[in-house]
Structure 1
Amino acid sequence: MEGVMIGGNIRCFLKLTGTDFQPDFRGKILLLEAMGGGVPQMVTFLSQLKMMHAFEQINGILLGTFSQMERDQLTPDMPQLVRQAAGPDLPIARTPYIGHGTDAHAAVIGKFYQISSD
């Protein structure tokens, strides 16, 4: 997948919905990560993205870490939830380096990336 990176923390990103700051999804890579939240919250967030037709417009999704879900080993996990919401054809890649961990790296929002998917 390739495109300009948008997104970040899923809860914070969705606060832009309906504002002048909501980015255009067309041709973008959507980065998603979260510190807190369980399965019900993530299903709600992904449902909102689906209703916004985001999955129909983006080139792919990069999943960072989902700290609470991973720590508590919640199932279904985030890749499974995203696949259910986005469908079988959207490229999805994962990285343990973007999120709220002590070893987290930066992703530049607005930069063009080429990423290999799972």
Structure 2
Amino acid sequence: MSRALKLTVGNKVGLIACSDGVKVENLTKVEELIRIMNSFGLEVVISNTLFRRNGYFSGSPKERAAELNLLFKNNEIRAIFDISGGDSANQILEYLDYDNIRLHPKPFFGMSDLSVILNALYTQSNAKSYHYQLMTLVSSDGAEQQAAFYRTFFQGHNDLYDFKYHWIRGNQMSGIVIGGNIRCFLKLAGTNYFPDPSNQILFLESLSGRANKIVSLFAQLQQVRTFDKCAGVILGSFTELERYNEFSIVEEYLKEISRIPIVKTNEIGHGSDSKCLIIGENITL
């Protein structure tokens, strides 16, 4: 597994919200997160588009994109962490400076609605990005996540990269990882930001959605021929679906509409103990 990101004491990292802005009532959690990052020896640079201003947004689409472009252009910034989620990230895609990102790539972290940015960075800049939510460091599993974060990004271990899985079909798959949150990933369908799934490994997870909703999203992926082309599927956690014990419905549907290798992991998704998957990284399972 790639160890492209290695942090050291004194590094600067950026904090931004490119999807729905962070609610002001979560200020205490953000301050706690910054204290933890400072305790690692990191200097946190806070973007001007972090907290909500009016309604849902931390700024206009152009403002949010401009702030992200600035973090990419700033050579002192070692990594960028987006701690937002929601529905608004795809608004900024057309305003990102993909040429600069291609010439000066750096790790971008985010998940859920940030799936649109993770995949756009890959398709437009051939850049790797990290499906991971930094706020897990201040979650109910915060102590374990802090230890895993430090061991992974400061000491070069694979704590956040190694995940347990079991085979639903097949016993081997290899390719570049694309995907993320299934609902948000499908926002890219029909756009230039949607990655070509040919010989790629498609990762999918979801927070909300029972069987009828998730099956409909799988049907859309099948109708745009994604499952016909990809080399395999990694199914992460489907929080609501699994809470209602309906995962088997989706599993059977996927086996019915595809013939590709499939693995299931409970260690990547919206859980407070979630691990990290690199979009744009070539992996073999």
Give the structure-2-normalised TM-score.
0.39
The residue matched to 2:271 in structure 1 has which SS? coil
Question: Could you tell me how far 1:76 is from its partner in structure 2?
Answer: 3.6
Alpha-carbon distance in structure 1 between the residues aligned to 2:221 and 2:272: 28
Question: Could you tell me how far 1:7 is from its partner in structure 2?
Answer: 0.3
The residue matched to 1:22 in structure 2 has which SS? coil
- Residue 239 of structure 2 is aligned to residue 67 of structure 1: yes
Alpha-carbon distance in structure 2 between the residues aligned to 1:75 and 1:3: 25
Q: Which residue of 1 aligns with 2:198?
A: 26
Letter of the aligned partner of 1:19 in structure 2? Answer: T
Kept in 1, the 8 Å contact 2:177–2:283? The answer is yes
Q: Which residue of 2 aligns with 1:99?
A: 269
Alpha-carbon distance in structure 1 between the residues aligned to 2:187 and 2:193: 9
Summarize deviations over 1:55-86 as a string: whole Å, max 9, x none: 11000000000000111112544322321232
Q: Which residue of 2 aligns with 1:15?
A: 187
Alpha-carbon distance in structure 1 between the residues aligned to 2:189 and 2:242: 27
Kept in 1, the 8 Å contact 2:177–2:202? The answer is yes
The residue matched to 1:55 in structure 2 has which SS? helix
- Residue 269 of structure 2 is aligned to residue 114 of structure 1: no
RMSD: 1.2
Query: Which 5+ residue runs of structure 1 have no aligned equivalent?
Result: none
Label 1:55 to 1:11 Cα distance change in 2 as closer, same or farther (>3 A).
same
Kept in 1, the 8 Å contact 2:215–2:250? The answer is no
Alpha-carbon distance in structure 2 between the residues aligned to 1:52 and 1:6: 15
- Residue 250 of structure 2 is aligned to residue 78 of structure 1: yes
In terms of fraction of residues, the more helix-rich structure is 2
- Residue 214 of structure 2 is aligned to residue 37 of structure 1: no
The residue matched to 2:188 in structure 1 has which SS? coil
Question: Could you tell me how far 1:96 is from its partner in structure 2?
Answer: 1.1
Structure 1 stretch displaced more, 74-83 or 39-48:
74-83
Query: Which 5+ residue runs of structure 2 have no aligned equivalent?
Result: 1-172
Runs of at least 4 residues off by over 3 Å: 75-78
Letter of the aligned partner of 1:113 in structure 2? Answer: I
Aligned match of 2:224 in 46, 52, 63?
52
Kept in 2, the 8 Å contact 1:69–1:77? The answer is no
Alpha-carbon distance in structure 2 between the residues aligned to 1:55 and 1:15: 17
Summarize deviations over 1:83-104 as a string: whole Å, max 9, x none: 1232xx3100111110001110
Give the structure-1-normalised TM-score.
0.90
Kept in 2, the 8 Å contact 1:46–1:85? The answer is no
- Residue 260 of structure 2 is aligned to residue 90 of structure 1: yes
